[in-house]
Every structure is written in C-alpha cells, then in structure tokens.
Structure 1
Amino acid sequence: MKINAKDEAKIKTQMTLEALQEALELLSPYFFAEMGIYVVLGFSILGSAIGIFNTGATLVTSTVAHPEIRSKNLLSILFCEAIALYGVIMSIIILTAIKEGAERSLTRDYVTKQEVLKAGYGYGAAGLSVGFSNFAAAITVGVLGSSVAVSHCGDSSLFVKLFISEIFAEAIALIGLISGIVMTTSVGFDSRI
C-alpha cells in the first residue's frame, strides 16, 4: 500500500503531537507552577526596566532644557516600579499556594492526577497572564511617560491630560494582577479548593 504525501504529513504531525504529549506527561505539574513564578517575575521586571529606560532617557534629555519638568514626570518611573511590584506580589501568591497545596496533598491518601495537573497548569497560566500583561503595561507606561515628558516641555498645561492616559495604561497591569489572583484561587493541589 502506497501512502501519498498528504497522508504522510498527517501521520508525521500526529506522531509529533503524540511525542509532545508524552514529553509533557513526564514533566511534573510543579514544573509548570514554578515556571509561572519565573515568567511573572522575569517579564514584570524586564518590562519595568524597559519602561524606566524609555522614560528616564527622555526625562534626562528634556530636563537639560527645562529643569522644572523633572519632579512631575518622575511619576512615570514610579508607575513602572509599581508594575514590577505587581509581579513580585503575584509570584509570592503563587509560591505560597504551591507550598500550602503541596503540604496538604502530602497528608491526603488520594490525590487524582487531574487535580494535580489542573493546579500546575492553573498556576502556570496565572503567571503567564500576569507576566505578559505587566510586560505590555510597563512598556506602554514607559512610552507614554516619554511622550508626556516631551509634551510637558512644550506646554505645561498638557501634563494632566496626558497623565490620565498613563494611569489607564498602568491599570492594564492591575487588571492582569486581579485576573491572576482569580486564576490562582480557583485551583489547588488538593480537592478542598
């Protein structure tokens, strides 16, 4: 029996997906939960660093000509730092939930594989969602902070109007943190959750 190229491609794809599924089954659910911690910390801090760099570079350049704009525009840098703290808060929440769940599941006689997998994937997904939302929000705050600093040099009455958009950009990170907390509280490494 001869197999055509289209069927051969389907068979290879199916074999690749089965191999991926087998590889994922070998990983511990705690791996995904721990990766959620690393992702939320890494992306939150990286995004904040990029945002602070954007705002800081523009602020340093702009204050040479207009030193009076320096103090107001430091709020943009504080917003970026707050976003990094959201990532630290979420990582502590996930870490605490993992520790408590692991201790409780060790005292139980029966823990299903589905419960443990759901918890591991849930904590990992919470870390991903908060990390990516913090990354996007911090870069947005940095770009807007840079724009606010340049606009403030030209017309000081624009500061408040433009700063409101920066507050809404920072709210993206807060929404991400809230969704991550909801995701974290909806799963657990034991069935009492």
Structure 2
Amino acid sequence: MLSAIVSGIQSFFGALGCAVSIIFTVIGASYGTAKSSGAIFSSGVIRPDRMMQNTLCAIMAQVLAIYGLVTSVIISNSIEEKLALYTGFLQLGAGLAVGLCGLAAGFAIGIVGDAGVRASTQQPRLYVGMVLILIFAEVLGLYGVIVSILMLTRSKLNVTQCSY
C-alpha cells in the first residue's frame, strides 16, 4: 500500500508541473489581453483607423498562453505511473518556470499595452517605442520556455528508475 502511494507522488509532481504551466501562463495572458483591450477600445473611439494596429498588445499576450500549452504538452507526454522523483521535480520546476515567467510577462504586456496604446493614439510616433517595450516584456515569457525545455530535456538523462 505504501509503495503505491510513494510511486504516485512522483507522477503527482509531474502533473502539478503540467497544470501550473498552463494555469499561470493563461492568467498572465488574460490579464495582458484584458488590460490592453480596455485601452484599445477607448482609443478606437478617438482614432478608429489605428484600431487593428493597436491589437498587437492583445496578440502578444496570447502568445504567452501558447508557451504554457507547449510546455504542458511536453510534460504530459512524459508522465508515467512509475516515475523517478528527480524527473517529477524537474517537471514541476519546468512548469513553474514557464508559468511564473508567463504570468510576469502578461502583467508587463498589459501595463505597457495600456499606456502605450493610449500614448500612441495621441502621438503616433510613439508606436515603435511601444512595440519595442512590448517585445522586451514578451521575451520574459520566452526565457521561461527556454529554461523549462532545458529542464525537461535533463529530466530523463541518467535517471535510475524507481524499484517499487
């Protein structure tokens, strides 16, 4: 009985990593979309010709959810009933890395998108600066994906399988 419980704990950590990667990135993406969309629509009243150009913020926020989805799929494809504890912890760490980076990037994209869309509506020359800052915010999520993929590739190397 105890061995069945112990062997399930490792898989639990992998499943938890899978869940937190998609949950936190989606929270970040939804915040970034909601925060910047308010500015997009209020600025669209003033300058409707720039409406489609200003949707870049919402699009960049949604890319964060794709980062979490990719990591979740990679983790879920390697979850097994008997998993080494090392592998389960690395899967949890990978999920947390991409999830929390995506959450932070979503907050940054939302705040920059809100201020940037309102400013570039009043002064169109500010649009390029807004895009550059949005790219810097998006890269935060990309860093999390890179670290999580590195962790996931290491999670199966030189691992001794549990014997219980």
1:171 corresponds to which letter in structure 2? V
Structure 1 residue 143, shift from structure 2 partner: 1.1
Assess if the C-alpha contact under 8 Å between 1:44 and 1:83 holds in 2. yes
Report what 1:174 is aligned to: 142
Distance 1:177 1:86 in 2: 6
Whose Rg is larger?
A: 1
Cα deviation, 1:39-98, whole Å, max 9, x if unaligned, reads 011111111111100011111111111112211111111101111101000001111122
Report what 2:99 is aligned to: 131
The alignment covers a number of residue pairs equal to: 157
- Secondary structure, counterpart of 1:191 in structure 2: coil
Cα deviation, 1:174-193, whole Å, max 9, x if unaligned, reads 11101000001101297389
1:62 corresponds to which letter in structure 2? S
Q: Any gaps of 5 or more consecutive residues in structure 2?
A: 1-5
* Runs of 4+ with deviation above 2 angstroms: 188-193
Q: Any gaps of 5 or more consecutive residues in structure 1?
A: 1-24, 106-114
TM-score by length of 1: 0.75
In the TM superposition, 1:9-88 aligns within 5 A as 28-88=9-69
Distance 1:131 1:192 in 2: 28
Report what 1:187 is aligned to: 155
Cα deviation, 1:107-151, whole Å, max 9, x if unaligned, reads xxxxxxxx8111111100110111000011011111111111101
1:157 corresponds to which letter in structure 2? R
Distance 1:73 1:156 in 2: 11
Distance 2:159 2:93 in 1: 19
Assess if the C-alpha contact under 8 Å between 1:53 and 1:142 holds in 2. yes
Structure 1 residue 27, shift from structure 2 partner: 6.2
TM-score by length of 2: 0.88
- Secondary structure, counterpart of 2:14 in structure 1: helix
Identity, % of aligned positions = 27
Assess if the C-alpha contact under 8 Å between 2:54 and 2:117 holds in 1. yes
